[in-house]
A = this chain, B = another copy of it.
C-alpha cells in the first residue's frame, strides 16, 4: 500500500528523503545496529512515519544502500569493459573495498543481502567476474591459481576492517588491498596458497 514517492504529499516526500539521508549517515557511522528510534529522532520524525515509508528495518537498509549497490554494479561493468583485464580486476577490487571501508553499514548490508539480491543480477555479475578473472589470467598478469572465490575472501577480510573508525579503516583497507593485489599478480607465486575453499557455500 505504500505509495510511490512521486505521488506522495510534498511534506511526506521531504520527510522520506530526510529519513533516508539520516539512515545512510548513521548506518555509515555506527553500522546497521543503530536503532530505528535513533534514525527517527535525528530525522525529526516519529517512528510511525518511518515505518509508514519503510515497513521493515530491512527494507530501509535495502533502500539506503541501493545507491552503493549500483556503484558496485557499475564498477564491475567498467571492469568488464576495460581492455586491460588485470587493471579492470585491480580497479574493481579497490573500488568495492574502498566503499566497504568508508561505510560501516555497507559491509553488513552487502553480506546480509547478497544471497537475497535478485538472483539474475547477482549471477550475471558473478559470471562476469569469473570471465574477467579468466581474461586476466590469459593476459599473464593474474596468477594461475587465483580463484574467483578469492574475491569473496577479500571482501570478507576487508569487511572486518569496517569496525574501525572511518579514517583509519580507509588507510588500513588500502594497505591490505595493496598487499593482496601484490600477491595476486602473476610471477610472485612462489608459495602456492593451500586448498581451494568453498566460499560459495556461504554467499550462495
Q: Which residue numbers of A lie inside 8 Å of B, CB to CB?
A: 111, 150, 153, 156-161, 163-165, 168, 171-172, 174-176, 178-185, 188-195, 197-199, 201-202
A156, A161, A188, A189: most-surrounded residue (chain B CB, <10 A): A156
- Given A164-B199, A175-B193, 16 more A-B residue pairs with CB atoms under 8 Å apart are A111-B163, A150-B179, A156-B163, A156-B172, A157-B161, A159-B160, A160-B160, A160-B161, A165-B201, A168-B197, A171-B197, A171-B198, A179-B180, A179-B184, A179-B193, A180-B183
* Chain B residues with CB under 8 A of A199: 164, 168, 172
Contact status of A164 and B156, CB under 8 A, knowing A171-B195, A194-B171: yes
Stoichiometry (number of copies)? 2
Q: Is the CB of A191 within 8 A of B178?
A: yes
Q: Is the CB of A194 within 8 A of B168?
A: no
CB-contact partner of A157 in B157, B191, B198, B201, under 8 A? B157
Q: How far is the CA of A197 from the CA of B175 in the complex (A)?
A: 8
Min C-beta distance of A50 to chain B, whole Å: 25
Q: Is the CB of B168 within 8 A of A201?
A: yes
Q: How far is the CA of A82 from the CA of B174 in the complex (A)?
A: 32
Q: Is the CB of B156 within 8 A of A161?
A: yes
Residue of B nearest to A189 (CB): B182
Q: Is the CB of B175 within 8 A of A185?
A: no
Q: How far is the CA of A180 from the CA of B174 in the complex (A)?
A: 14
* Chain B residues with CB under 8 A of A178: 191-194
A165, A182, A194: most-surrounded residue (chain B CB, <10 A): A182
Min C-beta distance of A95 to chain B, whole Å: 15
A160, A179, A198: most-surrounded residue (chain B CB, <10 A): A179
Q: Is the CB of B201 within 8 A of A175?
A: no
